[in-house]
């Protein structure tokens, strides 16, 4: 299943997956200065959480400026995490994704520029670009086989990019590969409330069988 909301939103039965998004992951650590929440006036603070909030908003801004790119801060740890203490250190994750490598590279550059600008406020930022995965382009013959199968079987369909790190993206390094997506309710996956109907599963399996037969006959 898709693990996302596109097919449901577009009311399509099958997603013809043409590739996978590239990904750049970062760990960021922001250091300000801990001080008392009641005795430190606003103009004399060096609040690491304020700086990290600005960085979170910048991640969203960068992603929206490069559609269909995605930008996410999924983890944040606040130290000392005390009600009456101005945060002195923040650890956070940053996830940038885009199906076009040139766009992903621009997003990377804009993030680093934002870090440099935020640091001018007196907060030290250590940005660690610890992981990069280039965009994947699936095999054209496999994609055509899937698309022809959906047409032959009469299913509504759309081309789509895999947003998650599916196994097929790694398989494509060694063998011709494509994927078939079916919808999932509200785009929810890896969760006990995920839901794909039997009819949607049947459609996906039927397309898979027909695509496999097409590829086998071509050998």
Tokens of 86: 């101005």
Q: Could you give the count of Cα atoms lying within 13 Å of 42 in the half-sphere of its Cβ?
A: 1
Mean pLDDT value across residues 93-98: 98
Q: How far apart are CA 163 and CA 5, in angstroms?
A: 11
Q: How far apart are CA 129 and CA 131, in angstroms?
A: 6
Domains in the chain: ranges and CATH = 6-20+136-218 (3.40.630.10), 22-133 (3.30.70.360)
Predicted pLDDT of residue 187? 87
pLDDT, tens digit, 9 for 90 and up, residues 7-45: 999 999 999 999 999 999 999 999 999 999 999 999 999
Mean pLDDT value across residues 68-94: 97
Q: Interhelix angle for 101-119 vs 48-64, to 10°?
A: 150
pLDDT, tens digit, 9 for 90 and up, residues 134-161: 999 999 999 999 999 999 999 999 999 9
Q: How far apart are CA 207 and CA 14, in angstroms?
A: 8
1, 189 contact by CB (below 8 A): yes
Whole-prediction pTM: 0.90
């Amino acid at each position: 299943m898709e693990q996302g909301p596109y097919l449901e939103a577009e009311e399509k039965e099958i997603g013809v997956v043409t590739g996978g998004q590239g990904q750049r992951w970062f760990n960021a650590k922001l250091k300000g200065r801990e001080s008392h929440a009641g005795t430190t006036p606003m103009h004399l603070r060096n609040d690491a959480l304020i700086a990290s909030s600005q960085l979170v908003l910048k991640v969203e801004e960068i992603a929206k400026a490069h559609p269909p790119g995605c930008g996410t801060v999924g983890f944040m740890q606040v130290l000392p995490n005390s009600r009456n203490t101005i945060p002195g250190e923040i650890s956070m994750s940053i996830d940038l994704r885009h199906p076009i490598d040139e766009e992903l590279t621009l997003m990377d550059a804009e993030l680093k520029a934002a870090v440099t600008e935020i640091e001018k406020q007196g907060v030290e930022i250590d940005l660690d670009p610890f992981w990069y995965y280039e965009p994947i382009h699936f095999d054209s013959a496999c994609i055509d086989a899937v698309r022809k199968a959906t047409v032959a079987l009469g299913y509504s369909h759309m081309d789509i990019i895999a947003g998650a790190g599916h196994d097929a993206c790694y398989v494509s390094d060694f063998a011709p590969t494509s994927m078939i997506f079916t919808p999932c309710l509200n785009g929810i996956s890896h969760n006990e409330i995920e839901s794909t109907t039997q009819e949607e599963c049947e459609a996906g399996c039927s397309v898979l069988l027909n695509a496999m037969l097409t590829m086998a006959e071509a050998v």
